[in-house]
Amino acid sequence: MRKIKIGTRGSKLALWQAYHVQDLLKSAGLESEIIIIDTKGDQILDVSISKIGSKGVFTQELEDQLLDGRIDIAVHSAKDMQSNLPDEFEIIAFTQREQAHDVLLSHKSGISLKNTGKPLVLGTSSTRRVATLKHFYPHIKTVEVRGNLQTRIRKMEEGLCDALLLAFAGVHRMGYDEKIVENLLLEEFIPAVGQGSVAIESSKNLDTTIREQIIKACNDLSTSYMLRAERAYLRVLEGGCSIPVFALASEKQGKLQLKGGIVSLDGQKRICFEVEGERENPEKLGEQLAQEVLEAGGQEILVDIKSKLNT
């Protein structure tokens, strides 16, 4: 059996994900090699993601190599995956999900969102997080900060901001748990679709035997049900990285619960619902939530967001 070629971005976090997948493959007796690929999102660090264009900003170059067979699979943060993949590609596996919540990371003590008496500047590149802050914590100021986690921490320590607003999963995987000063509530900061899981993408031309071996080694069934529901929700709303939509699925007593919504860029309007259904039909659940959100005013918020991001 030939080695499975794993394509990945070159950041430390992306490499952690690639090595994690390599370990899962190795445990199943499969040999692999890692190939590092530079993406547009890695190259352009002085412009916000919403201005670069949210579709495929971290995936396009990897997909090019999937298509011509230079790599067999591409490994991504599931939250970086666009909701609609080009016809030639598919996500064949989702790894077991890490805790999905957001955190505040800082080199300072006494940092808290609830401290209204102390001016606080948070660094983030996420429109979802900025809009959520404006809704729940309007006294907080934010500043755009991009780059890998190590770069962001350096910028923070140089004085750009007091703290960073990040996903726990990335912070934990990079070993920065001691810098976490606050774990944010899932009730307020519902994460981006897919946050905490690693997605494995392949070309539909991938050898069937290899495909099945990768799925068996890497796919966590419970996580895949959850992310299929979340991604179906995102697909209906056509939400890319720059649209502040959010959703988080959970499994309870064999049922799938999905909570999600949308928030306006100024934080004034936030729509959020929860639905429950059979886990064997997660896409239906995601579509149901999307329709409820759209009919309750989400459509108007979405149109307004897209018009503002295009100006």
The residues that are catalytic are 80
DSSP per residue, the chain: -PPEEEEE-SSHHHHHHHHHHHHHHHHTT--EEEEE---HHHH--SS-HHHH-STTTTTHHHHHHHHTTS-SEEEEEGGGS-SS--TTEEEEEEPPPPP--EEEE-SSSS--TT-TTS--EEE---HHHHHHHHHH-TT-EEE---S-HHHHHHHHHTTS-SEEEEEHHHHHHTT-GGGEEEEPPTTTSPPPTTTT-EEEEEETTS-HHHHHHHHHHH--HHHHHHHHHHHHHHHHHT--TTS-EEEEEEEETTEEEEEEEEE-TTSS-EEEEEEEEETT-HHHHHHHHHHHHIIIIIHHHHHHHHHHHT-
Cβ atoms of residues 75 and 214 within 8 Å: no
* Structure tokens given for 140: 């907080």
Measure CA of the first residue to CA of the last residue in the chain; give whole Å.
Answer: 52
Q: In one letter, which amino acid is 115?
A: N
Cβ atoms of residues 74 and 91 within 8 Å: no
> CA 229, CA 115: separation in Å to the nearest integer?
36
Instruction: Name the pairing type of β-strands 163-167 and 32-36.
Output: unpaired
* Structure tokens given for 241: 């990285």
